[in-house]
Amino acid sequence: MSDTTGQQASGQQPTPPGRAPKEPERPGGGILMGRPFGVPIYVTPTWFLIAALITWLFGNQLDGVLPELGYTRYLVAFSFAVAFYASVLVHELAHTLVALRYKLGVRRIQLQFFGGVSEIEKEAETPGREFWLAFVGPLLSLVLGGICWGLTETVRLATVPGVLLAGLTVSNLVVAAFNLLPGLPLDGGRMLRAVVWGITKRPMSGTLAAARAGRVLAIVVLFGLPVFAASRGGGPRSAGDSLLDATLAAVLAVVIWNGAGNAVRNARLKEALPTLTVRGLTRRAVSVAADTPLAEALRQAREAQAGAVVVADGHGEPIALVKEAAVLQVPEHRRPWVAAGALARSLEPGLRLAADLDGEELLAALRTTPASEYLVLEADGSVYGVLAVADVERRLSAALTRR
């Protein structure tokens, strides 16, 4: 299974603005395997689980085809697992090359339990480019399947090369067919999104249609895959095989269902970003001295209809921001005896924001220096107010949960 993801798409959740950003090239526990075309490739620990499963299942099948191998069949089966994921990597590199050709940027490629993921930083600008970006992966899998099928004509099937080539032929064709299914987060879902986007001229309409198709596909996989597996071949299946089929179907269904939902949430976030402006979210602020009692500072704020308090020095220059969370922890009867400065955070360079910031630039600035409040300044250096991250998160939450 393969999946291409955008910076605001993929199954990728945007980093909450009040938290430190994750290192872009260090997925948890991933092993760096190389950097073709400058894009880091990681193998996650879950790959070893699926490699072991493939080795066990394929090795058991080899016992009936090439019994003379003995336990060596598991080494052959492991070779197949590695070759299969090499094919998956080629699939992902196809997405990567097209993304780089369109100057979309690729953060990394991950090989994991259910295939690979290409983390593409930006979305395609047109439905045509979106369609081609999604289609090129399954296309390369079809080509690889065809090449392996052609090579099977040069060897005997009842040999190790013949078995490996036959297995790679089937697996690449299955990968291509599965990824062409029309539902997010699969490549076929992105192709469907591109088609609906092209017809309606609205990217969100395409995302919603492909996400709904993905949810339907998840239900079909959940119930249909075990039935399909049970109908293959003759003879009854063991309870262990049936349990494995049901477990695989359930995990696949969850991955597809969640991926479809994440695609919608990220698309809504992208729609909301242009309306995310510092000026529209900034609270009015009052300035007080550091030794001003908290109760007095809050009284001044209420009188000025302000939602934030700034601590200023003797020259009236802001030096710190009173933290709202700290204020709420001080009981009412203690506020006359607590200085406002004791609840403030000193103004570091990253805690000053330009009043004209918006969208992705605003989120990037918040991630650079995580805090609960930021001082907002006009171009001439005058204080415009205070931006509370809680207000940004509420605006984003409203956009992500909108039906």
The residue type of 320 is: A
| Strands 373-377 vs 383-388: parallel, antiparallel or unpaired | antiparallel
The answer for residues whose C-beta is within 8 angstroms of residue 44's C-beta and 6 or more apart is 27, 28, 29, 30, 31, 110, 111, 112, 113
- Where does 273-388 have alpha helices with state H? 278-281, 294-303, 324-328, 359-368
The amino acid at 59? G
CA 391 to chain centre: 24
Residue 164 vs residues 57, 96, 105, 147, 274: alpha-carbon distances, Å: 14, 27, 35, 13, 52
Measured between alpha carbons, how far is 365 from 216 in angstroms, rounded to an integer? Answer: 39
Are the CB atoms for 190 and 210 separated by under 8 Å? Answer: yes
Active-site residue (options: 92, 119, 130, 324): 92
Question: Do 214 and 220 contact (CB within 8 A), yes or no?
Answer: no
Q: Is 303 a catalytic residue?
A: no
Phi-psi region of 305 (alpha: psi -120 to 50; beta: other; left: phi over 0): left
Helix 160-179 × helix 45-65 angle, to 10° = 130
DSSP state of 25: T
For the purposes of burial, counting CB atoms within 10 Å of the CB of 261, is it exposed (0-12), middle (13-18) or buried (19 or more)? middle
What is the distance between the alpha carbons of residues 65 and 366, in angstroms, rounded to a whole number?
60
Number of H helices, E strands in the chain: 12, 12
Active site residues: 92
